[in-house]
Amino acid sequence: MNLFQSVTSALDLTLEKDPTAIVFGEDVAFGGVFRCTVGLKDKYGKDRVFNSPLSEQGIVAFGIGAAVAGATAVAEIQFADYIFPAFDQLVNEAAKFRYRTGNIWDCGGLTVRTPSGAVGHGAMYHSQSVEAYFSHCAGLKLVIPRGPIQAKGLLLSCIRDQNPTIFFEPKILYRAAVDQVPTGDYTIPLSEAEILLEGSDLTMIGWGTQVHVLREVAGMVQEKLNVSAEVIDLRTIIPWDVDTVCKSVAKTGRCLIAHEAPKTSGFGAELAATIQSECFLNLEAPVERVCGYDTPFPLIYEPFYMPDKWRCFEAVKRLINY
C-alpha cells in the first residue's frame, strides 16, 4: 500500500469493527480530494460515511458532539491550512471538555485527520505545517506519520485513544512510496519516538516528510565527513517522547532538529529548550535547528524555503566543527 491506501485501510477496519464509527468531512463520500475514503460510503452506507457542509468549524463541532454522545468520530479537514476556522472548537472545546466537566464527560472519541506540509506546488494556502499551533494546548494529542506502515498503525491508535487527536498526513507522501503494510489490524503506540538509525556522533530529529531527508543526510555525513548520525522519528508531537530524545543526545552530544514549519515558535524550539535543560552537561555544541523561514510559504521559492539535505548537511558541519 501507499500512504493514502493505508489510511483507507485503517478507516475501513474502524468502520467494520466499531458500529459507532462515523467518517465525515468535505467530499469524503466521493473519496476525498486525496482519495483516502474511496469506496467506504458504498461499503458502509451514507449514514456512516458522509459529506459535511463547507465549514471546518461545523465539522469539528459536529465531531465533538458525536464523540460526547458516544460515537467514534473521524473528521477530515481537507487541508491543514484550512483548520483555523475550527481552531476555537479544537482548543477551547475539544481539548478542555474532559477537564471542565471533571471527567464526567469527554470527547475522547474524536479524531481529526488532515493533510499537511509541502507538496511541491501548493504555495501559501496548501503547504503549511501547523502542528506547533496546537502543541500549546493541553488536552489534544498530535501525531504525524512518515510512511504507509506508520500511518495505518498510528491512525488506528489515534482513533482508539480516549483523547481527542489530530492526525497530520504529509500530503506529498500519499503516493510517494509503497510499503508492505499488513492488511489486518495493528497499532503503533503513541508518544513513542522511533530510532531509525543508530549513531554515536550526532542526533538528528524530524517527523513526517523530514525524516526521509534526515536519513539521506545521515548517509551523506557518514560518507563525506565520517560522522555517525542517529536518526529519530518523533512520530507523536504531543505528548512527545522526551526520554528517547534526551538519552540519544546525552550519548552523542550534538543535536540537529529539522522541520518544514517556520523556525520561530516551531515545535523544534520546544525540543531544543528541553534538550538544553536535560542534556546541558552532555552537549558539545548548541542545538541546531534547520526549518522553514519566517515568511508565508512561497511558490517559486519553495526549493529555497525547504529544509533540504544541503541545508541540513551544512548544519551538521557547523555542529561538528563547533
Please return the burial class of 26, using the count of CB atoms within 10 Å of its CB with bins 0-12, 13-18 and 19+.
buried
How much is the average pLDDT of 293-319?
97
Q: What is the torsional sign of CA 12, 241, 97, 76?
A: negative
Looking at residue 24, its pLDDT comes to 98
- Rounded distance, CA 67 to CA 318, Å? 49
The amino acid that residue 214 corresponds to is L
pLDDT at 280 over 90: yes
Q: Which residues are catalytic?
A: 56, 126
Kindly report the average pLDDT of the chain as a whole number.
97
pLDDT at 101 over 90: yes
How far is the CA of 139 from the CAs of 166, 186, 208, 229, 299, in angstroms? 11, 25, 22, 34, 34
Digit-coded pLDDT (tens) for 207-265 = 999 999 999 999 999 999 999 999 999 999 999 999 999 999 999 999 999 999 999 99
Digit-coded pLDDT (tens) for 109-167 = 999 999 999 998 999 999 999 999 999 999 999 999 999 999 999 999 999 999 999 99
Judge whether 34 and 174 are in contact, CB under 8 Å. Answer: yes
Asked whether this chain's domains 3-173 and 194-321 adopt the same fold, the reply is yes
Digit-coded pLDDT (tens) for 170-180 = 999 999 989 99
Nine-digit cell string for 241: 517522547
What architecture is the 3-173 domain classified under in CATH? 3-Layer(aba) Sandwich (3.40)
pLDDT at 100 over 90: yes
What architecture is the 194-321 domain classified under in CATH? 3-Layer(aba) Sandwich (3.40)
Looking at residue 177, its pLDDT comes to 80
How far is the CA of 179 from the CAs of 118, 173, 224, 231, in angstroms? 21, 12, 30, 20
Sketch the domain layout of the chain as residue ranges: 3-173, 194-321
pLDDT at 72 over 90: yes
3-state helix, strand, coil in the chain (%, to 5): 45, 20, 40
Q: Closest Cα to residue 119, out of 165, 160, 64, 169?
A: 169
Q: How many CB atoms lie within 10 A of CB 58?
A: 14
What is the percentage of the chain residues whose pLDDT exceeds 90?
99
pLDDT at 19 over 90: yes
